[in-house]
Amino acid sequence: MEIKEINRRFFDLWARFYDYSFFVKPWLLYIQKKTVVEIKLKDNIKILDVGCGTGDSLIYLYNKNQKLKLFGIDISKNMLKIARKKLGNKAILKFSDVEKIQFENNFFDYVINTEAFHHFPNPNKAIKEMSRVLKKKGKLIITDINFYSNFIHWLFKKIEPGHVKIYNEKEFQKAFEKNKLKVIKQKRIGLFAILTLGEK
């Protein structure tokens, strides 16, 4: 079974428990908030959340500024079903693969992706596609797990379905630059994640 299908099944299954994951959910919310704080929340800017899950980042953004134009995509129909119930008409949500985002070129001011990049089987293709839908001077923000220990990376890959690879700062910088994105910020979030912000 290919990685994408493993991920689709895993997140479809997890969807029913996702909002009640007492150990995982607080960490994910913390990462999402630390990511969206990098966005300058001007009225009417367009923001895409890639791998939006049950919509928490989009809800957080909406509560900060109700004049934002919010969008989300995910490969899990079950995650999207929950997100639609929570968000209503506050965001446009689509069932879509990061490698083929169903929006036109130069459409978004920001694209964000949190805690999902290590699931992408074709990271370069994913970044290229996220960059494609960004406007000139638009910003891509990827925040993903990174532990200090290679052993923990190995162990995490063994236990998490659909896991492909954990990337470090240099690998993210190289991947952004390969796709003509200028890295303007990198930082650690706590002990277990790296944020990379690039501009098109």
Is 50 inside any structural domain?
yes
Q: What's the pLDDT score for residue 191?
A: 80
Which neighbouring-strand residues pair with 108?
A: 134
Strand pairing class (193-199; 134-145): antiparallel
Residue 199 lies in a domain: no
- Domain hosting residue 83, numbered range: 3-184
pLDDT in tens, 111-168: 999 999 999 999 999 999 999 999 999 999 999 998 876 766 666 666 677 888 999 9
Residue 101 belongs to a domain: yes
In total, how many domains does the chain have?
Answer: 1
Evaluate whether residue 159 is within a structural domain: yes
| 31 or 25, greater pLDDT | 31
Residue 196 lies in a domain: no
Is 11 part of a structural domain of the chain?
yes
74 occurs within a structural domain: yes
pTM as predicted = 0.95
Question: Is 90 inside any structural domain?
Answer: yes
* CA atoms 28, 48, 42, 90: torsion sign: negative
What is the CATH classification number for the domain harbouring 59? 3.40.50.150
With beta carbons less than 8 A apart as the criterion, state whether 189 and 195 touch: yes
Rounded CA-CA distance 41/47 in Å is 10
